[in-house]
């Protein structure tokens, strides 16, 4: 292989785009069968399984909590 062909091949290899990752899917917990954890603020079922560690919030309460935290000075 000539030097020009090697340089061209390396340039193509550097310009390859990595596979696209769906950001929302990466942040959304996997849903499956089984009991769901209840939201600690409103009691509604969440997307998390019942054995999920920590405080669980439904999407509405999570959004409201994020708004409160963002606006606190």
Residues 61-72: tens digit of each pLDDT = 999 988 888 876
pLDDT recorded at residue 41: 93
Instruction: Report the pLDDT averaged over residues 51-62.
Output: 89
Structural domain boundaries, residue 60 = 3-71
pLDDT recorded at residue 30: 58
pLDDT in tens, 2-52: 777 776 677 655 665 555 655 555 555 555 677 889 999 999 988 888 888
User: Residue 46: which of 35, 65, 26 has the closest Cα?
Assistant: 35
Q: List the structure tokens of 34.
A: 């089984």
Dihedral, CA of residue 24, residue 55, residue 58 and residue 63, to nearest 10: -70
Q: List the structure tokens of 3.
A: 């030097």
pLDDT recorded at residue 69: 86
């Amino acid at each position: 292989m000539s030097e020009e062909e090697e340089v061209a091949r390396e340039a193509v290899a550097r310009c390859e785009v990595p596979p696209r990752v769906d950001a929302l899917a990466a942040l959304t917990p996997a849903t499956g069968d089984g009991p769901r954890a209840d939201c600690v603020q409103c009691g509604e079922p969440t997307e998390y399984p019942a054995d999920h560690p920590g405080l669980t919030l439904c999407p509405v309460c999570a959004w409201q909590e994020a708004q409160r935290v963002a606006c606190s000075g």
